[in-house]
Structure 1
Amino acid sequence: MLNALSPCVECVMNRTILLLVIMLTSLFCGCASQAPEPAQDLHAYFHDQHFSPANGLPSADELFDLPDEAVVSLKRELMRSKSFLQQNNVMMHEWLANYINAADGGFRYADNVTRLASDTFNDREGNCLSLVVLTAALAEEIGVKVEFQEIGIPPVWDRQGGFYLVNGHINLKLLPQDNGNVFNISTRSIQIDFLPERAMQGYKKQRVNKSTVISMFYNNIAAEALVDGDYDRAYGLLKLALAEQSHFLPALNTLAVLYRYKGLSSQAEALYQYTLRVNPEDMNALNNYAIMLSAQDRLDEWADVHKVLELARIRNPYYYYGMAQQAYFDKDYQDALLWYKRAIAKADYRHEFYFGLSRTYWVTGDEMRAQQSLKKALSLTTDGQHKRRYQSKLHAMSSH
């Protein structure tokens, strides 16, 4: 996890960095059920007097609601396929997987904002949590059962504004219908995975229920509201997340971060301490609590949590990226190359790491590797502004 206390990271970012957990990606693998946990009374940790009520917060049902035209389209296509299903012994969950057509782009993965099912259907794209919610909504309309799974893969790091967002991972399976005593050879469940180029196998998975998915969704859009500076909306959404799952630690962490940004330091600390009583090794809470202790010059307490975080820091690609950036600006180019390569070894999917590597190669006179690295950065980015920037620089390199 991110060690946001690292001086090199802070000088690059020029502001304190906090960790949020946000579910943006989707992967699949092997089998453990979510253990039920008792609801906790969090009344003492809510502070409504510091926030104004936010309007237009979606209900849990609205997250999965489909527009009428989506339901009509779905059922019309199903009716058209009825004879084919019967003649070819195709089960409903197989038909739905084909309708969604995840492998061939029926709905497009877009790693950006989290959308309601209705918006995802209309836009034909969304991040993986959005697409999982849409798939579950479509499945419910035609009586197909689903199973949600959270995947324990290494964290995918993203950065928005003054926050690092730690992207979590979730997918779902479409389950075959129970036909009683009727034997059907096609009884396998079908994995639905919208994350391009990362269909990983072998990671531990945990089955999660719909209530947890709802909490994930609320935490996602609360984190997005927090990044946008809409604190009242973020607070309302986090209360909804915790009403669904009072033990959902990512939402507790996000709420503590929100309190910190509102200047409610004692309330944030109480929530960090509560979260760490629930799970003493929750790295996001430890990280953000350490930031608070450091800012308050409580160095002995900071040292206690920092011991745990130090090991986590070396697994964070942005730690190496921050070191690389600092070395580049200090004109220690060979060190910069070393740090950029280490960042890429940890997260080879981040275009900015390759861009940093490219410009460092360029100033050292290695024009071939500079162009190769910039082409890699261009292939990885999905942002139009970055694409234009990289294309322009590639053209300049070629014309050099």
Structure 2
Amino acid sequence: MSLWIKLWFITGVLVCGGCATQGDRNADAAPSASVFRDDLFPAYMLSSVEEPQTIFALDSDAQAFVNQTQSEVRTPRENIRNLVNQIFDHAALGLSYQSAANTIASATFERSQANCLSLSIMTYAMAKYAGLSPQFYQVNIPEYWTRREGVNLLNGHINLRISPYKAPNDIVFSEAYADVDFDPQEVRNNFVREPISRTRVIAMFYNNKGADALLANSYSDAYRYFKAAVQTDSSLSQAWVNLGVLYRRLDANDSALASYQRALKENPQHLTAWENLSILYAATGRKDEAQAIQNRLARERQENPFYHTMLGEDALAAGAPDKALSHFRTALRLDRHQHVIYFGLAKAYAALGNTAKARTQLVKAARLVPDENIKARYQSKLFALQSS
């Protein structure tokens, strides 16, 4: 799944993505209206965002799918297991993982593309319809970047647990349950997770839709969704950062500063919010403050292999494969079990004309990747290298 995207622009860094977010604080606190700039987006009210009930609604085909997984003669454990197995079987039949596929539950069931947020929303809706008790969780992963449309995407992750139905006041000492995770990359295993509300997930959905719109340069749509995200859950710091990036695109620097400050108020440890703030400082003449933030960020990220992987991708995009190779080697020293690092090394060697070493790294990447679609992509690139 996705979730948060870190976008390197001249104007700033964007946080969004397919899946996760920060803690679940102050979900009902309303943001200050002064942070919003409706005047910059006069067309934003011509359309509306999806209503929460629409996001989680199941059509008749999806309901029929759930019905055939449940039986009164089975135990709750068996019904949960059957539902989860059938969902994964359905997902395996032609469904491809796409980080940008932010869809409502019914559309996720019908279409052949989805990300982990969309799949988790669909699974939550199905479990609810089956009379079970699902619970969303945020997985607290290190900063992790992937690349989409030539930019770095800062990801987050959520998953869920499905338990038998229980009334609010029920005390259960032992129960059957299933943990459901649609992560195709397995970089998020063994991290602490914490429960988050359905409201928080709705805000994530709006935030992701806004990020997609911003990537497509649809500013009114982006504003509509980012505003809906923070109005739904004002503690969603990523959405405040994204709103600030949108303001920066339009040179509304005061509004961008207010948005970044609000993000840091909600989460003082939000590194990407600090990074956006430093970029804004640099662009507005506050270079010493900007550099101080950048120095601190570099120190805090030094032991994160995905930070060095991101720097390698940036170097490749800038046409500096030697520099990229150095960054990927640093990432590999920190973690030898991530296929994206080997893939980065392969691209760097290929850019340097060393096809033999590029092939070796692609083979290693393909061995480590758990997702068949990504594995097929690596195999295709390996075949192309061998053909050349």
Q: State the TM bucket, normalised to the shorter chain.
A: 0.7 to 0.9
| Secondary structure of 1:173 counterpart | strand
Are 1:230 and 2:222 counterparts?
A: no
CA distance in 2, matches of 1:66, 1:142: 11
Shifted more, 375-384 versus 229-238: the winner is 375-384
Q: Is it true that 1:110 corresponds to 2:97 in the alignment?
A: yes
Aligned equivalent of 2:349: 358
Give the partner amino acid of 2:276. N
Deviations 1:106-162 (A, max 9, x none): 684603221111111002541110100000111111111111100112222023346
Match of 1:257 among 245, 252, 256: 245
Q: Are 1:321 and 2:308 counterparts?
A: no
Which residue does the alignment assign to 1:93? 80
SS in structure 1 of the partner of residue 14 of structure 2: strand
Alpha-carbon distance between aligned partners in 2 of 1:250 and 1:362, rounded to the nearest angstrom: 40
CA contact (8 A) 2:27 2:232 kept: no
Q: 1:176 to 1:229 in 2, by over 3 A?
A: same
Shift of 1:34: 4.7
The alpha carbon displacement at 1:230 in A equals 0.9
- In structure 2, do the counterparts of structure 1 residues 70 and 359 end up closer, same or farther at CA, with 3 Å as the change threshold? same
CA deviation map 1:253-275 (0-9, x unaligned): 11111111122111101221232
Shift in CA distance, 312/163, structure 1 to aligned 2, threshold 3 Å: farther
1:21 corresponds to which letter in structure 2? C
Residue in structure 2 matched with residue 196 of structure 1 by the alignment: 184
Cα distance in structure 2, aligned partners of 1:14 and 1:256: 13
Equivalent in the alignment of 1:20: 15
Pairing 1:152–2:140 present: yes
Alignment of 1:53-132 (within 5 A): 53=44, 54-75=46-67, 77-78=68-69, 81-83=71-73, 85=74, 90-101=77-88, 105=92, 108=95, 110-112=97-99, 113-132=101-120
Spell out structure 1 runs of 4+ moving beyond 6 A: 383-387
Output one character per residue of 1:3-48: Cα deviation in whole Å (capped at 9) or x when no partner.
x9xxxxx9xx89455131323479xxxxxx9555550332110111
> CA RMSD of the aligned region, Å?
3.6
Separation of aligned partners in 2, 1:324 and 1:142 = 49
Please tell me whether the aligned partners of residues 18 and 163 of structure 1 are also in contact (alpha carbons under 8 angstroms).
Answer: no
What is the total number of aligned residue pairs between the two structures?
367
CA contact 1:173–1:191 (8 Å) conserved in 2: yes
Contact 1:259 1:265 in 2 (8 A): yes
Q: Does structure 1 residue 47 correspond to structure 2 residue 37?
A: yes
Change (3 A) 1:137 1:394: same
Conserved 8 A contact 1:25-1:128: no
Q: Deviations over 1:288-326 (max 9, x none)?
A: 111111122211321342343222453312454058649
- Mapped to 2, the partners of 1:346 and 1:227 lie a distance apart of 31
Distance 1:386 1:197, change over 3 A: closer
| 1:294 aligned partner | 282
Q: Secondary structure at the match of 1:271?
A: helix
- Give the structure-1-normalised TM-score: 0.79
**TM value normalised by structure 2:** 0.81
What is the aligned-residue identity percentage? 25
Of 56-65 and 304-313, deviating more is 304-313
Q: CA deviation at 1:384?
A: 8.4
| Structure 2: unaligned runs, 5 residues or longer | 1-5
> Any conservation in 2 of the 1:132–1:172 contact (CA below 8 Å)?
yes
Contact 2:49 2:224 in 1 (8 A): yes
Aligned pair 1:303/2:265, yes or no? no
State the shift of 1:61 in Å: 1.3
